[in-house]
Structure 1
Amino acid sequence: MANASSGMAVDDECKIRFQELKARRSHRFIVFKIEEQKIVVEKLGGTNEGYNEFTASLPANECRYAVYDFDFTTEENCQKSKIFFIAWSPDTSKVRMKMVYASSKDRFKRELDGIQFELQATDPSEMSLDIVKGRAI
């Protein structure tokens, strides 16, 4: 189904892979990109991959969407998990690309039912592990 504001379609694989991450925890993260007027899966992070591998998979000069399944321990020593949606839009990416990603984000995010937090980052420091921990706990 095309996104009304940007004309962007969402590939079915995006929803399938997100459900696998959410329900079966088959992936640690998913990176999505816009390609030929469609949002597609670019990379699946294995369950053994951590936050450093996730951030390294985001290109320095191009926008992306991503979801990350963040595991943490509460002060009560309970294991928890929260799913973050990250809108990556580096300052060095092209203006047109930033506009397309910004206009498609809300509609795409609604397709992924189960997201608990959202981060928007233009620089790696805006999505540091400390920021993610602070939002999750």
Structure 2
Amino acid sequence: MANAASGMAVHDDCKLKFLELKAKRTYRFIVFKIEEKQKQVIVEKLGEPTDSYEDFSASLPANECRYAVYDFDYVTDENCQKSRIVFIAWSPDTSRVRSKMIYASSKDRFKRELDGIQIELQATDPTEMGLDVIRSRSN
């Protein structure tokens, strides 16, 4: 199951929780972490449907890489309620080089496991994944 290039397996729980977010909107966001010793991506945190974007961004560690998925609700100029699933590759400048390399090399394979991502962002600091950035990419 693991990709030879990255060696990271994706825990089944990651796919299950993502499907719940996508189909049932059980969660507002999911934060994923690479467990280096187990060589797999696991679910680190699940956001309640009532959680805000601030709760989401606060759940990303300041100096460690993570993958995250955020269910972004917005209203179009035509006053239509819409939703986009945003994948964020969080790689702060202060994280370890090895960690950045592992996350970067595993990202595409991990993303393929999550069917239904509509927007992808690469962020090294919170301003690169702000609501205004997501909103501009949603239209």
> TM-score per shorter chain, which class?
over 0.9
Aligned counterpart, 1:23 = 23
**How many pairs were matched up?**
137
| 1:14-54, Cα deviation, whole Å (9 max, x unpaired) | 00000000000000000000012110000000000011000
CA distance in 1, matches of 2:74, 2:109: 28
Structure 2 counterpart SS, 1:54: helix
Structure 1 counterpart SS, 2:41: strand
For the aligned residue pairs, the C-alpha RMSD in angstroms reads 0.6
Does residue 4 (structure 1) correspond to residue 4 (structure 2)? The answer is yes
CA distance in 2, matches of 1:10, 1:89: 19
CA distance in 2, matches of 1:3, 1:83: 25
Structure 2 counterpart SS, 1:31: strand
CA distance in 2, matches of 1:90, 1:13: 25
Aligned counterpart, 2:98 = 96
Aligned counterpart, 1:60 = 62
2:69 counterpart letter in structure 1? V
CA distance in 2, matches of 1:23, 1:41: 18
Q: Which runs of 4+ in 1 moved over 4 A?
A: none
Aligned counterpart, 2:48 = 46
CA distance in 2, matches of 1:83, 1:69: 5
CA distance in 2, matches of 1:79, 1:128: 20
- Displacement of 1:4: 2.6
1:78 counterpart letter in structure 2? C
- Equivalent positions of 1:109-128 (< 5 A) are 109-128=111-130
Q: TM-score by structure 2 length?
A: 0.97
CA distance in 2, matches of 1:26, 1:99: 32
Percent identical pairs in the alignment equals: 72
5+ residue gaps, structure 1: none
5+ residue gaps, structure 2: none
CA distance in 2, matches of 1:4, 1:115: 24
